[in-house]
Structure 1
Amino acid sequence: MATPLITRQGYEKLQQELDHLWRVERPEVTKLVTWAASLGDRSENADYQYNKKRLREIDRRVRYLQKRLDTLKVVDYHPDQEGRVFFGAWVEIENDDGEKKRFRIAGYDEIFDRKDYISVDSPMARALLKKQVDDDAVVKTEAGTFTWYINAIEYQK
């Protein structure tokens, strides 16, 4: 089960998605379903079938977002976090080969469509939590054990 944490920006993005689905997309698709249904035989009406399916997808996503937003805990930046890796931190790491990575530790709901976010539940994030600049983090995965060095830690304030 994913840890129910989210950054303020992630929470607002999910709120906007829910609002858009409920106030914009759903009414438009409902009108299309009504129009297509008025044309007659629904069994062979592609417009009706497609839009009815889209309406079910919207309703499913709306239900998910409503439930998920109720269970999520928004984690805001706090000055006590400065200098250590905690939820919401932007972290730059480097390995012995000189390969660098920069990403933000975020909630499960925020990582989709973002290459620069990792889940707080990932092995990398777990290994980095509470570390400081110049500390090394040993990351154990199914592919093996890797050592990364922390170069920088930043927070969006």
Structure 2
Amino acid sequence: MNTRWKPNVTVAAVIERDGRYMLIEEHTPEGLRLNNPAGHLDPGESPEQGAAREALEETAHAFTPTALVGIYMSRFQREATGEDVTYLRFAYAGELGAEEPGRALDTGIVRTLWMTPDEIRASVDRHRSPLVLQCMEDHLAGQRRPMNTVITDATVFKR
């Protein structure tokens, strides 16, 4: 049987303020892990809309993407089950907006925290993915691509 391989498309917000990066701490099957505010792209949304939605759901802050940091692929193999998953991540830099008072964080999210680049580098064993560090390093290096690098055709938004 010939099965078509499909990566899991995810979106992430790379949020920096005053030399610190906002990460989330979340429960995963592998334990408590650190990640960028990130998650799966939903049907009917563009990658930048997905990044804004995920940031809001996981941090209770509005997020406006202003630049594409990069498009990344990574592979994850869960030891306990043998699950083999490839992720295709669109990571966006942007502006962090106001917090929505009283908004609950997504299920599994413990808290948000602000970390320096050195703290993030020192905590690599707690990262949910190698892309947490890679996105930060690319952001620090000034990697920014125009928002129109990724084009979302109008057909995506049709119901």
TM-score scaled to structure 1, two decimals? 0.23
Structure possessing the higher relative contact order (Cα contacts under 8 Å, 6 or more residues apart): 2
- Greater share of residues in helix: 1
TM-score scaled to structure 2, two decimals? 0.23
Question: Which structure has the larger Rg over C-alpha atoms?
Answer: 1
